[in-house]
Amino acid sequence: MIGQVVYQPKMSKDSTTTPLLCDPKLGACEVANTAVKDEKTFAESFTEKPIKIIYFTDPICSACWGIEPQLRRMKMEYGDYIDIEYCMGGLLPSWEGFNGGGISKPSDVYHHWEEVSHYYDMPIIGDVWLQDPLPSSYPPSIAFKAAQMQDSDKAILFLRRLREMVFVEAKNITRAECIAEAATWAGLNAEQIESESKDKGRLLFEQDLLKARQLGVRGFPTLLFSDANGNRLTVYGARGYEEFEGCVKRLAPEAEPSSQNSDAITYFNPFASLTAKELSILNRSTLEASISVLEELEKTGKTIAVTTKNGTLWRTKP
């Protein structure tokens, strides 16, 4: 299993003293270095698309929540060129015997999440770590692998909903009722996910952990880009969109971004929910302009706002 989380001593853009769970300057949530790198793991079958991306992530990785805007834009603009494989990394096995960089209990994570929210301009509240702390990130990770067995596209929606629950709604996503709610919302069979999480889902999760070690993955998010000729590029941590796009362009120079409608409401069709940061990345606008547009959609009754002390998430009405 991947070992304990390594906490980095930077709490904000300027601070260099306070330890935290995921270093925003580095842009990653790191795990202990237990890599047993095996290049053969890259030798996997390709789809008809020219670029394969292996994305190592975790449901409670704040830096992964931080790259949702970039990831969404890359999918929309270069979806015809990329195929993304989602792998779970096992960020938090448990709190038993845990002590990393000054964080030894769930309540210690509260302050980190509160501050890192402003760094990524994404709504994150740390209340869950005070009210109903997660004992591990493994249960939702295993549930995601079980969801993939049903429908890979709906599994991504499932993962998104889990993240909204924990980051925006302060819900303990290890609880069966939360997993079931997210599964139903994504159009998945919740009972099947619960059943398969006991065996097949767990096995697939363990295979993801092994793959992470074999590829030398030391933190999340890690995106490994490769083409059929064996060329490989890596984006590690939360980076600007230009870096993600640059990897696509280097591996597929012929790739051209598909044109997108700048009308904000159209982005809710594929995504169902948006933050201001996501809209600003998708339509190349300022954060302030995106907030104004989303607030106007809310006023006209086209969306519903989920407002937190650290930002807002907008959803289309059911």
pLDDT (tens digit, 0 to 9) for every residue of the chain, 318 residues total? Answer: 222 222 222 333 333 333 335 666 666 776 655 545 555 555 555 568 999 999 999 999 999 999 999 999 999 999 999 999 999 999 999 988 666 556 678 998 998 899 999 999 999 999 999 999 999 999 999 999 999 999 999 999 999 999 999 999 999 999 999 999 999 999 999 999 999 999 999 999 999 999 999 999 989 999 999 999 999 999 999 999 999 999 999 999 999 999 877 789 999 988 999 999 999 999 999 999 999 999 999 999 999 999 999 999 999 987
| Domains observed in the chain | 5-220 (3.40.30.10), 264-316 (1.10.10.10)
Q: Which residues of 210-227 are buried (b: 16+ CB within 10 A; e: fewer)?
A: ebbbbbbbbbbbbbbbbb
In this prediction the pTM is: 0.88
Residues 127, 170: contact at Cβ < 8 Å?
yes
Alpha helices in 12-165 (DSSP H): 62-66, 68-78, 106-120, 128-131, 138-150, 152-163
Q: Give the angle 157-163-200 at the CA atoms, nearest 5°.
A: 65
299: alpha, beta or left, given left = phi > 0 and alpha = psi -120 to 50? alpha
